[in-house]
Amino acid sequence: MSTIPPVPPPLPTPEITPVNQSNVFPCPDLIAFLNYCKCIDLCKWACDYPELWEMCNTYSFCLKKPPFQYKYMRFESISQVGPTCGLAALSMLVNGEVTADDIMKISKEEGYTNNGEMLSCKHMSMLAAKVFGLAKFNKIQCSLGIDGLNNSDVIEKLLNGAILLVPYDADFNHSPCLKKGHTAHWAIVCGILIVDDPSNSHESSNNIYVLCKHGKSKYLAAWTLKDLSESNSNLWEFSPKKLAEGLTYVIPEGDIGGENGLRNQFLILEGF
């Protein structure tokens, strides 16, 4: 006759020691990684470009649905040194193959700048042609825009892959503002995002955003096309405060608000 062995007594419950999360996840990029994991389900349209999903989270764009239309081209950030925002932006456009320091030398030789300032879109256009030639970016076509940023022609060009090089007034956080040109700055517009179908949008001015990079931040910025256009159109005069500091700047005839300056002007670059 067989005997069934008795059921063994349960094992003692092990003592659980609280886990120090900082020891388990020492990675400093944990928050960014978790944000990415969260975004990957909500914002799949942007996941090919980390900077796009980061911008998506920052500005709360298209978190539940993709944008109606968008176009974006990635450029690596290059930080400016001193008042060289335009030169740093131009170097970004050629992936640093011509450095901002080299562009500074060229612009000084051509008489476009003394300290790195670029206060004429016409000069910037001629400088860009030289830089693209040196970098062997021979397919790039550069033209001067003079009819304002916020129009259908500019939007169509951006959607077709054009890049803009735009002067504007920069606020304390580098976003566009209206200070009569006293804080003039340069940025590249490397993309456009239309949130909703314009025919269904009741606030078209807040529906179209441009994706921008500049020499004072490594992050991709998103500003309304309307705000950037208005800022570009208010560049009337070079900063009196900077003039009072004693440095000599190359200021075009008629100041930056004249036809040889910055106001209502920008560069359109096609062929990237």
Dist CA 181 CA 129 (whole Å)? 25
Name the packing angle between helices 121-134 and 85-93 (round to 10°): 40
Structure tokens at 229: 């256009």
Structure tokens at 148: 């304002």
Q: Is 190 a catalytic residue?
A: no
Burial of 124 by CB count in 10 Å (0-12 exposed, 13-18 middle, 19+ buried)? Answer: buried
Given 85, 121, 177, 190, the catalytic residue: 85
Are 255 and 237 in contact by the 8 Å Cβ rule? The answer is yes
Dist CA 234 CA 224 (whole Å)? 16
Catalytic center residues:
85
